[in-house]
């Protein structure tokens, strides 16, 4: 680190630069950081001197980032975010370990969160921090130790542990069922169908599995299972939902399962993590618990 240290500007300068870059104003940055405008200006100048180049173009009473300044601002902002996240994680559990886990919003809310208290009781020294991550990302540029992934077992630069498969069922509200009187899968051809943006062919696949030809399947688009489930429960249409995510709504009677074969999803749920995180003690403990908890649900989840 002796060589790298001379490339690390003081944090105070970086905070002033980040605020000025984001707000495009030294005055606004001074107001946010409770400093004077001249102090912000001095910090920016000192940083520019250390870098050997201008970060801002100064034009009368306005400033704007240079092209190189824009790139540097993005990197600095991300680095400061990493430091803040690490500090927050340490303060949340200074005597144990913390795991930052990326989760699919609906899976996290409907399946993982209700089970986490069991892990917390068994391992009170480990803190689990949940962050929404609907798509794969580069672990090397993030603070997450692992993530829950749905789809194929493909994630560049990551190890993959199978958690569970998924069975999809057709559901609707009791009111919609009473109104339309659905008796067979083909009856759904004329029903208002709810579609998930990330699974655009789900209804075509479901009808094909029932032996029903479906030339046109129109309806409302949603980008989260949570939206589709609540829309279906409110009577807005018929939804294809993973059985384990719809369990509470089915049990409460807000949704009913319609006639037809259940459809295995093409993808599955996986725990993705970079190989260098596999040796982190708290993560090893959480990984073992998650695999044990998920496996009983695998084939029929």
Where does residue 34 rank: exposed (0-12), middle (13-18), buried (19+ CB within 10 A)?
A: exposed
Q: Tell me the pairing of strands 167-172 and 263-264.
A: antiparallel
pLDDT of residue 301: 40
Q: How many residues does the chain have?
A: 301
What pLDDT, on the 0 to 100 scale, is given for residue 296? 60
pLDDT at site 219:
87
Q: Are 258 and 184 in contact (CB under 8 A)?
A: no
In contact, 268 and 107? CB cutoff 8 Å? no
Dihedral of the CA atoms 156, 162, 163, 169 (nearest 10)? 90
CATH number of this structure's domain 97-296: 3.40.190.290
Q: What is the pLDDT, as a whole number, of residue 297?
A: 53
How far, in Å, CA of 223 to CA of 214, rounded?
22
Phi and psi at residue 205, in whole multiples of 5°?
-65, -40
- Taking alpha carbons only, the member of 220, 169, 214 closest to residue 190 is 214
CA–CA distance, 150 with 112 (Å, rounded to integer)? 14
| DSSP 3-state of 12 | helix
Q: What is the pLDDT of residue 298?
A: 46
Distances (CA, A) of 51 to 26, 63, 69, 127, 196: 19, 18, 11, 39, 48
Both tokens of 119, joined, read 């892990």
Over its length of 301 residues, how does the chain's per-residue pLDDT go in tens digits?
A: 444 677 789 999 999 999 999 999 999 999 999 999 999 999 999 999 999 999 999 988 889 999 999 999 999 998 888 788 777 767 766 655 889 999 998 899 889 999 999 999 999 989 999 999 888 888 887 889 999 999 999 999 899 999 999 999 999 999 999 999 999 999 999 899 999 988 888 999 999 999 999 888 888 999 888 899 999 999 999 999 999 888 899 999 999 999 999 889 888 999 999 988 888 889 999 999 999 999 765 434 4
CATH topology classification for 9-90: Arc Repressor Mutant, subunit A (1.10.10)
| Cα 35 from Cα 97, distance rounded (Å) | 36
- Rounded to a whole number of angstroms, the CA Rg of the chain reads 25
Inter-residue contact 20 to 54 (CB < 8 Å) = no
pLDDT of residue 87: 78
Domain ranges of the chain: 9-90, 97-296
Q: Strands 263-264 and 126-132: what pairing?
A: unpaired
Question: What's the rounded Cα separation, in Å, for the pair 160 and 147?
Answer: 10
Q: Apex CA 103: angle with CA 101 and CA 105, to 5°? A: 145
Considering the entire predicted model, what is its pTM? 0.66
- Phi then psi for 280, rounded to 5 degrees? -75, 120
| H-assigned helices in 141-242 | 174-180, 202-209, 225-233
């Amino acid at each position: 680190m002796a060589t790298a240290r001379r490339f690390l500007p003081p944090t105070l300068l970086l905070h002033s630069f980040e605020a000025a870059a984001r707000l495009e104003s030294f005055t606004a940055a001074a107001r946010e950081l409770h400093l004077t405008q001249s102090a912000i200006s001095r910090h920016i100048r000192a940083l520019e001197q250390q870098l050997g180049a201008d970060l801002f173009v100064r034009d009368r009473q306005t400033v704007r980032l240079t092209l190189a300044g824009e790139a540097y601002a993005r990197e600095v902002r991300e680095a400061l975010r990493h430091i803040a996240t690490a500090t927050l994680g340490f303060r949340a559990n200074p005597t144990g370990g913390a795991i930052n886990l990326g989760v699919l919003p609906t899976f996290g809310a409907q399946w993982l969160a209700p089970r986490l208290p069991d892990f917390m009781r068994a391992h009170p020294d480990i803190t689990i921090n949940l962050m929404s991550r609907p798509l794969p990302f580069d672990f090397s540029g993030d603070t997450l130790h692992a993530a829950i992934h749905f789809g194929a077992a493909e994630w560049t630069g990551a190890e993959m542990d199978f958690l569970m498969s998924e069975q999809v069922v057709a559901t609707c509200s009791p009111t919609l069922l009473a109104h339309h009187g659905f008796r067979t899968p083909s009856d759904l051809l004329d029903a208002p169908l709810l579609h998930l943006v990330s699974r655009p062919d789900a209804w075509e696949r479901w009808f094909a599995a029932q032996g029903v030809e479906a030339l046109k399947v129109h309806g409302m688009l949603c980008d989260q299972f949570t939206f589709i489930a609540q829309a279906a429960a409110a009577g807005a249409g018929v939804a294809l939902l993973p059985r384990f995510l719809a369990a509470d709504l089915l049990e409460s009677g807000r949704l009913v399962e319609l006639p037809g074969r259940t459809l295995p999803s093409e993808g599955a749920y996986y725990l993705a993590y970079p190989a260098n995180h596999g040796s982190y003690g708290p993560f090893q403990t959480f990984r073992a618990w998650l695999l044990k908890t998920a496996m009983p649900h695998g084939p029929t989840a």
